[in-house]
Amino acid sequence: MNYLERAYPWLLLAPVFLPVIIWGGLIYPYLVPKTLLFYAISSLSVGVFVILAANGRAFYYARLSYWETWIPALLILLAYGTSFIGIDFYKSFWSMFVRGDGLLMLTCAVASFYLILVYTDRAFFARLLRAVAVVGSAVALYGIGEWLLGGGRIGSLLGNAAFFAGYLGISLFATLAVVEELPVLWRRIAYVGVGVQILAIILTATRGTMLALLAAGLVYGAYGVFYGKGKARTISTSVLVGLVLVGGLFFAFRTTLAQIPFEPIARIASISLSDGTVSSRLFIWEHMLTEIQKSPWSGVGAEHIDVLFNRFYDPTQIVEQWFDRSHNAFLDYTAQYGIGGLLLYLALIAAFFTSALRLVRKNEAWIGGIAALLALTYAVQNFFVFDTVSSFWLILALLAGFLAWSLTDVPRETIFFSLWMRRTSWLVAAVVILSGVPAAGRSALAAYDLSQAYKYQLTDVAEESWYLSHGFALNTYGNLEYGYQAYDMYALMQAFALSGQARVDAYHAALSILTTNFNRYTYDARTALYLAQVLSLAPPGTTIDRTLLSEALARAIGESPKRSQSWYILANLSISNANAYPPRSAERIAGYAAAQDILSRYIELVPTLSAPHFVLAQLLYASGNTAGAATEATKGKEYYKSDLETARRAAVYYETVVDLPNAAFFLGEVLRFDPTDTAAASDLANIRAYESR
């Protein structure tokens, strides 16, 4: 028992160190190890708590009587309820490898919140803050080193710039919170750590977090000017004047600054409604609100934002192909859990302010101010991004700590259980701990198998197929991920790099997984489209299940009507069927006409998308309708917005009709995006040589 007593606080602290955990032996090495370890740590922590509580360990149970402490519990109850009546509870609970943000993660994070809340005293919270300060500074230093070596937007040990910045936007306030508890030398070191974290945030070029810190700085300065005294007021005034001056100069020279080859400054300066990323986000938010209005109270359940996104996906408005978040946490909570979910999420943030108010009344103005500024920063940055396991656990852990600090007058209590219940607690703890095996252990093995399949995808298809089938047969929450990755391996690599039996084996391995997922996840447009694409890339001589292909295309179009790939496959099927007949035959003419009709119907859905106009132009030219082809090509050029796929289609068309100036332009575009395209370089050189005669 003494051993468990000593180990328990370290279990509560263990998630602090998740941001530094990566493992290249897993798919998504920056996120998957973190979520799997978090599941394991959580189950172990709960199990040990059950034993300690049942055997007389005193905890601060009375803290649970305050209304703020019930917010996470109410949120998780609502999340389970809306997910149970939502699209698919299985996916809501487990999520996917790439995120791991489903109900299981929420459950573990909320459990950790309550464990910290009823255990924490001032000394433990100070230890937690110090650990966060060290880890946050270390991760920031790693990110700065990454920037010095490679430049660009950095993701450090979290693998993504927005995830990295979002985490640091929380950890730097934890670092500030511990400053007053440190000796002079360590206090100076802590301030250096804060500076390192702010510098790393700037280097991520994540505008949401930078704007959030700016808002926090302005609020801090304004508060100090009106309510501060002495040196504190002088510092606040300096901060406020400095921020206002820098902000004014920044916006005055915004156009010039947007051209500076330093991405953090350029990205901030480029913020406007015409900026591609900004306009894409605004389009998504507008249509997400429309989708939310269809089920405002019940939502769609956890981890189903992608279903809503697919419904309104428009390639002329949205940069990303596949989204499972709206890049706005408030919209995400509303979409998943309804208006109640939004209100509880807002209440969660408001709990920081009530804690801050209590702390100020107890003459703990410094820590209270940090709690308030943290809540403000978190709310502003999450208006533009979303949490990962590292940031969400940390925000709940800090909330538990601030609440505990503000409720120091609550005494420890012991709950007395009978001898039978004390002995039973060991069995309950064993069940809880063993529940981490399927959540963490089997999932880690499945993720490992998937990474091994990638390793052998071109060198040993038999080995790749074994790893795919073995990992998929584990029946973990990575099954959807297996389908996506099997598609990537076959459609993007193996279909073109392999031949003979190796390609046939690779095809059947991908087809088997995607077909299983297609029958299981009937709402998933991505699986349907990937299945159709794999079927359309069947090796020569392989019999294709035409019924399955038709069903996959119908579902893909039904769930996401504006995606071009499904329509192109339909058109190509008509063309390939027509090509089986002699030239000028009625069957070939009818097949080409059907393909033209398919493309025309898609163009009606997205009239300003450039690529389908060039596809239709090529088809019309092949059918002998040169005038119609020229008209479509003119529209395609008018709507062209610089992308590799469209440039290649346009270059092929203009070379076919021997329009050399336009062919040269689009070949130049191809080489701008892909300088390694030797065929395009050769064609462009020939055109220029011909024009120079």
Question: In this structure, are 249 and 360 located in the same domain?
Answer: yes
Left if phi > 0, otherwise alpha if psi is -120 to 50, otherwise beta: which for 583? beta
User: Are residues 158 and 306 part of one domain?
Assistant: yes
Segment 572-575 long-range contacts (CB within 8 Å, at least 24 positions apart)? 572/536, 573/536, 573/549, 574/598, 575/619
pLDDT of residue 540: 93
- Note whether 442 and 341 are same-domain residues: no
Note whether 251 and 184 are same-domain residues.
Answer: yes
pLDDT for 379: 97
Question: Per-residue DSSP letters for 612-659?
Answer: HHHHHHHHHHHTT-HHHHHHHHHHHHHH----HHHHHHHHHHHHHTT-
Q: Do the Cβ atoms of 283 and 262 come closer than 8 Å? A: no
Q: Are 550 and 535 in contact (CB under 8 A)?
A: no
Q: Are residues 392 and 448 in the same domain?
A: no
Q: What is the 3-state secondary structure (H, E, C) of 477-538?
A: CCHHHHHHHHHHHHHHHHHHHCCHHHHHHHHHHHHHHHHHHHHHCCCCHHHHHHHHHHHHCC
* Segment-wise mean pLDDT, segments of 10 residues, the chain, 693 residues: 89 97 91 95 96 93 95 98 97 93 97 97 95 97 95 91 96 94 91 96 94 92 81 78 79 75 79 79 96 97 97 92 92 98 98 96 92 97 94 98 91 85 88 88 94 95 96 94 97 95 96 98 98 96 94 97 95 90 88 94 96 95 93 96 93 94 94 93 90 72
Cβ within 8 Å of residue 74, ≥6 positions away? 344
Using CB atoms within 10 Å of the CB of residue 670, give its burial: 0 to 12 exposed, 13 to 18 middle, 19+ buried: buried
Residue 414 lies in a domain: no
Per-residue model confidence (pLDDT) at position 417: 80
CA pair distance 676, 212, nearest whole angstrom: 41
Q: In degrees rounded to 5, what are phi and psi of residue 249?
A: -65, -35
Q: Answer with the one of 376, 402, 428 that is the final residue of a domain.
A: 402
Task: Count up the domains in the chain and report the number.
Answer: 4
* 592 plus 617 within the same structural domain: no
Is residue 202 a part of any domain in this protein?
A: yes
Is 20 part of any domain? no
The answer to whether 523 touches 559, Cβ cutoff 8 Å, is yes
Query: Which of 402, 417, 449 is where one domain is finished?
Result: 402
In this prediction, residue 321 carries a pLDDT of 86
Question: CB–CB of 346/354 below 8 Å?
Answer: no
Helix (H) or strand (E) holding 271: none
For the chain, how big is the Rg over CA atoms in Å? 29
Comparing CA positions, the residue from 381, 408, 384 lying closest to residue 395 is: 381
In a domain, 658, yes or no: yes
Clarify whether residues 290 and 159 are in a common domain.
yes
The verdict on residue 416 lying in a domain is no
- 358 and 242 housed in the same domain: yes
The pLDDT score that the predictor gives to residue 583 is 85
412 within domain boundaries: no
203 is a domain residue: yes
pLDDT (tens digit per residue) in 107-138: 999 999 999 999 999 999 999 999 999 999 99
CA dihedral (377, 378, 381, 383) in degrees, to 10, reads -120
Condensed to tens digits (0 to 9), the pLDDT of residues 539-598 reads 999 999 999 999 999 999 999 999 999 999 999 999 888 888 988 888 888 999 999 999
Q: How far is CA 94 from CA 103, 116, 443, in A?
A: 7, 24, 10
Output the pLDDT for position 230. 75
- Asked if residue 465 lies in contact with residue 506, where contact means CB atoms within 8 angstroms, the answer is yes
Burial class (CB in 10 A: 0-12, 13-18, 19+), 604: exposed
Whether 365 and 474 map to the same domain: the answer is no
Cα distance between the two ends of the chain: 91
| Residues of the domain holding 670 | 607-693
Helices (H) and strands (E) in the chain, counts: 33, 0
Indicate if 134 and 214 belong to the same structural domain. Answer: yes
Residue 577 and residue 522 share a domain = no
Residues 383 and 527 in one domain: no
Residue 17: CB atoms within 10 A of its CB come to 16
> Does some domain include residue 642?
yes
Output the domain CATH number for residue 653: 1.25.40.10
